[in-house]
């Protein structure tokens, strides 16, 4: 069992090592600061600047988190604290089901619904013209995809808060909402933060659904109505050209390595928070 555990964690290290080894070529010909801070992406001219892609990823992910975090927290509070158990028994599996839908289906849905909506209605309201393939479309589809993950984890965390915490608060004369707000939420905070971070990790690395609606233009977006080009889409779209130019191959590997490190960092952070909360209630 131990060896199986070690083996599975070794896979991550093995992936990282392969990516690192493959990216040495690009790192030896371009400085890291040039790669990260230049927004000129012309592989055939040997120019590899990730800046537009990094900023694009952050825009789309940030927007998704801004849209999804508050509603999904409210939903998980409702499910954990207010909903009758029968209703929870229906809603919870549905939310879990949402988390399991293949991302290409979300992508299609957004392509058919969100993109035209933004082009024809939202853009007119905002007084801009756009193709609909925008940061906004990517952010919305990601928000929908992240919501079930955040709800699922934070609902578990809230329900894991021990009963005595609620009873003590109620005994002091607090209302139900006051109890939730001041006692339960405080106790569950690290876990909720972990839920949000897990959602962020998911959003950061999501490829297909975003790729289909975000426009894939390697330019730094300046508003939500601009197209963007997140890193996962860069890799997915261009791995076909990898074989043609050696440094292209290497540049995509480095992009993959960056992506892996960021997502890994967030997962570790979330895990640490969750371990912390577990320890607090099991031991203390």
Partner 1 sequence: MCEVKKRLVVLAAVVIIASIVAYNYFSTAADAEGTIRVSGAFALYPMMVKWAEEYQKLDPKVKIEVSAGGAGKGMTDALAGLVDIGMVSRDIYPEEVEKGAFYVTVTKDAVVATINSENPVLNDVLTKGLTKRVFYNIFIAGNVTTWGQVVGKPDVTDEIRVYTRSDACGAADNWAKYLGKKQEDLRGVGVYADPGLVEAVKRDRLGIGYNNIGYAYDMKTNQQIEGIAVVPIDVSQNGRIDPDEDFYRSRDQIVQAIRHGLYPTPPARVENLVTKGKFTGIAKEFVKWILTDGQRFVEESGYVSLPAEVINEQLAKLES
What is the CA angle 104-72-123, rounded to 5? 60
By CB under 8 A, the residues from 2 to 31 that bind partner 1 are 4
Radius of gyration, CA atoms only, the chain = 22
Nearer Cβ to partner 1, position 138 or 148? 138
Q: Establish if 242 lies at the interface with partner 1 (CB under 8 A).
A: yes
Q: Establish if 220 lies at the interface with partner 1 (CB under 8 A).
A: no
Contact residue for partner 1 among 216, 232, 254, 255 (CB under 8 A): 216
Q: Establish if 280 lies at the interface with partner 1 (CB under 8 A).
A: no
Q: Find the part of the chain contacting partner 1 (CB under 8 A) among 31-39, 93-101, 170-178, 242-250.
A: 242-250
Q: Which among 10, 24, 36 is positioned nearest to 262, based on CA atoms?
A: 36
Nearer Cβ to partner 1, position 40 or 178? 40
Contact residue for partner 1 among 97, 105, 245, 275 (CB under 8 A): 245
As given in the structure block, the two tokens for residue 166 are 């609620």
Q: Which among 43, 235, 206 is positioned nearest to 139, based on CA atoms?
A: 206
By CB under 8 A, the residues from 126 to 185 that bind partner 1 are 129, 131-133
By CB under 8 A, the residues from 38 to 57 that bind partner 1 are 41-44
Please, are residues 104 and 223 in contact by the beta-carbon 8 Å criterion?
A: no
Distances in whole angstroms, Cα of residue 262 to Cα of each of 51, 151, 201:
15, 22, 8
Q: Establish if 121 lies at the interface with partner 1 (CB under 8 A).
A: no
CB of 230 to partner 1, least distance (A): 12
Contact residue for partner 1 among 28, 124, 244, 281 (CB under 8 A): 244
Q: Establish if 211 lies at the interface with partner 1 (CB under 8 A).
A: yes
As given in the structure block, the two tokens for residue 242 are 């990898």
CB of 140 to partner 1, least distance (A): 17
Please, are residues 104 and 208 in contact by the beta-carbon 8 Å criterion?
A: yes
- The site for partner 1, by CB under 8 A, has a size of 31
Q: Establish if 116 lies at the interface with partner 1 (CB under 8 A).
A: yes
- The CA dihedral of 82, 86, 88, 92, to the nearest 10 degrees, is 180
Annotate 13-43 with b (16+ C-beta within 10 A) or e (fewer).
eeeeeebeebbebbeeebeeeebeebeebeb
Q: Is 48 helix (H, G, I), strand (E, B) or coil?
A: strand
Contact residue for partner 1 among 100, 127, 240, 284 (CB under 8 A): 240
Give the whole-angstrom CA distance, residue 184 versus residue 132. Answer: 41
Nearer Cβ to partner 1, position 53 or 200? 53
Contacts of 209 (CB under 8 A, 6+ apart): 103, 104, 106, 107, 110, 141, 142, 145
CB of 42 to partner 1, least distance (A): 6
CB of 238 to partner 1, least distance (A): 5
Residues that bind partner 1 (CB under 8 A): 1, 4, 41-44, 111, 116, 119, 129, 131-133, 211-212, 215-217, 227, 229, 233, 237-246
């Amino acid at each position: 069992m131990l060896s199986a555990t070690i083996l599975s964690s070794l896979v991550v290290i093995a992936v990282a090592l392969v990516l690192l080894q493959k990216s040495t070529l690009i790192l030896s010909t371009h400085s890291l600061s040039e790669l990260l801070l230049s927004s000129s992406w012309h592989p055939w001219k040997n120019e590899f600047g990730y800046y537009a892609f990094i900023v694009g990823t952050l825009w789309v992910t940030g927007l998704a988190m801004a849209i999804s975090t508050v509603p999904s927290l409210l939903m998980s509070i409702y499910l954990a604290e207010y909903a009758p158990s029968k209703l929870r028994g229906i809603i919870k599996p549905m939310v879990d089901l949402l988390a399991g839908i293949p991302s290409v289906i979300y992508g299609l849905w957004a392509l058919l619904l969100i993109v035209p909506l933004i082009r024809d209605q939202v853009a007119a309201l905002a007084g801009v013209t756009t193709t609909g393939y925008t940061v906004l479309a990517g952010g919305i589809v990601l928000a929908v995809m992240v919501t079930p993950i955040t709800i699922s984890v934070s609902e578990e965390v809230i329900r894991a808060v021990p009963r005595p915490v609620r009873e003590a608060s109620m005994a002091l004369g607090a209302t139900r909402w006051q109890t939730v707000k001041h006692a339960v939420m405080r106790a569950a905070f690290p876990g909720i933060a972990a839920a949000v971070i897990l959602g962020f990790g998911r959003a950061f690395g999501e490829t297909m659904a975003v790729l289909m609606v975000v426009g894939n233009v390697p330019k730094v977006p300046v508003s939500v109505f601009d197209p963007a080009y997140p890193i996962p889409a860069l890799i997915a779209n261009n791995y076909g050209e990898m074989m043609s130019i050696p440094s292209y191959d290497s540049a995509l590997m480095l992009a993959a390595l960056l992506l892996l490190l960021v997502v890994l960092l967030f997962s570790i952070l979330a895990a640490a928070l969750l371990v912390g909360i577990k320890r607090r209630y099991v031991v203390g």
